[in-house]
Amino acid sequence: MHVLFRTDANKDLGAGHLMRCLSLAHAMRTRGWSVTFLTCPLIPSYGERVSDAGCTLKIRTAMDDAQETEQIAREIHADWIVLDGYPFDAEYQRRLRKGRCKILCLDDQGAFDVYEVDVILNQNISAREAWYSGKAPGSRLLLGVKHVLLGPQFREWKHKRKTSTSVQRVLVTLGGADPKNITLKILRTLEMLPQSFSVDVVIGGVNLHRHDIEQYASSMKHPAHVLVDTKDMPSLMDRADLAIAAAGTTSWELLFMGVPFVTGAFARNQRANAEELGKQNVAINAGWYPDAPEEALSAAIGALIDDAETRAFLSRRGLGIIDGKGADRVCDVLSVPLLKLREVTGEDSNLLFSWANDPVVRASSLSPDPIAWEQHQEWLRGKIADPHCNIYIGMNGKGTPVGQIRFDVRDDGDAEIDVHLAPDQRGKGLGSPLIIEGIQRIFAQTQVTTVHAYVKTDNEGSRKAFLKAGFNEQGKATRHGKEVYHLVFNRS
């Protein structure tokens, strides 16, 4: 597999886009994939990180951006192009779609009205399906903190969090660039506090306020240490009793490490996350940092320093939200052929008949007897005409039918799912992708909120496919006189 990342990092943009792309690139490299980054010129330390990850770095020339990206993709025989940044809008995406590559777009807030890509990834706690109503037909959504892209230094962290009863060390980390210099504002608020603690201040190499920050930190009554482009954030977070951060990638790292923290926003794409972090009681939301009075900030931080019970609660909540497997989940999606669904027609009768009577399908069915042709014909006509039935054929990128998926809507408004793969498509990891495509389609086209699956207890492969697709097991039940696993997928 060959992947091309198109993203940038600079003093205005910061390093967030590049760093989360590197986290995904690390996961790809562990699978032996070839990864190339195409960026505007980077400061040396960021270029070194790309190289250290085992990736090839190419610097943009003055030629047309989309044209150059498509050209590099052809040269390296890229299977996927990953876009992360606001310049890569629908028109840019359309131009890339003329090539052979599939496209993954990393997004934070539904930045574009239209998305001409194969997969949209929004790893934020605030991600909403409604933001992507303009996505291309067949585009797949990967939404929420289940897909958070943590770097390998976090994913490999084994230490278990122990919340201290007092705050001895405070971590301040407001992103790589911090163009509004919120870091200095936070240091001033900490200096107002009477408690005794030390401060670790993390800034990026592109931070234009470094001199002012270092000068102020050197004169603080609280011992303060300024670290530039540190590569060992897990250790710093592990030592911290409390952190002050912005509602970006660092928030997910702090949650994973179980560090209680105050969050806030100073960029438009951080607002929704800061609000949701506060609403879900996983961090203290200070609001819009540039407008927050320093006295109010200081009081909020001081109150949390004095409240060991709340800090312990926030730590426990954080540890239960991020599991560190997000990058692997994204790689799983990219590593299997993308599937598209089409509605079944009467012309599919022969195909569905042959699949339905396949010995493996009959053995896994709750009604294992062979199906007669006349019975099948009558059944299919009824299903196509039934407004409460949605039945689809899954197609791979070559236009080959790979399986059937059906949803029957019950009187209570829930739906039951039935799925099986074509005999020649088994063993290719297509079960879960077909289920996921079907789930997205049924939720998009109907008001169904819950989907139920019933799997015979001797069909472990099917059970695993549903679990991998996001279903939750509810225990065992009896259907048609047979013991089955009952699995459920909720729209929420």
Each residue's pLDDT tens digit, 267-285: 888 999 999 999 999 999 9
The answer to whether 2-149 and 337-490 have equal CATH topology is no
Strand 450-456 to strand 482-490: parallel, antiparallel, or no bridges (unpaired)? antiparallel
84: tokens are: 């992360």
Which pLDDT band, with edges at 50, 70 and 90, does 139 fall under? confident
Q: List, for residues 59-117, the tens digit of each pLDDT value.
A: 999 889 999 999 999 999 999 999 999 999 999 999 998 777 889 999 998 989 999 99
Using CA atoms, how far apart are residues 56 and 76, in angstroms rounded to an integer? 11
Percent of the chain with pLDDT over 90: 71
Going by the DSSP 8-state scheme, the letter that residue 291 receives in this structure is G
Residue whose tokens read 């800090």: 311
What average pLDDT score do residues 406-435 get? 92
- CATH T-level topology, domain 337-490: Aminopeptidase (3.40.630)
Burial class of residue 1 (count of CB atoms within 10 Å of its CB; 0-12, 13-18, 19+): middle
First to last CA, the chain: 33
Ranges of each domain in the chain: 2-149, 157-319, 337-490
Distance CA(436)–CA(434), nearest Å, equals: 5
Q: CATH: 3.40.50.1360, 3.40.50.11190, 3.40.50.720, 3.30.70.60. Which one for 2-149?
A: 3.40.50.11190
- The pLDDT value recorded for residue 158 is 67
Mean pLDDT of 139-151: 92
Render pLDDT for 177-218 as a digit per residue (tens, 0 to 9). Answer: 888 999 999 999 999 999 999 999 999 888 899 999 999 999
| CATH superfamily, domain at 157-319 | Glycogen Phosphorylase B; (3.40.50.2000)
CA 300 from chain center: how many Å?
31
Q: Which of 429, 479, 439 is nearest to 455 (CA)?
A: 479
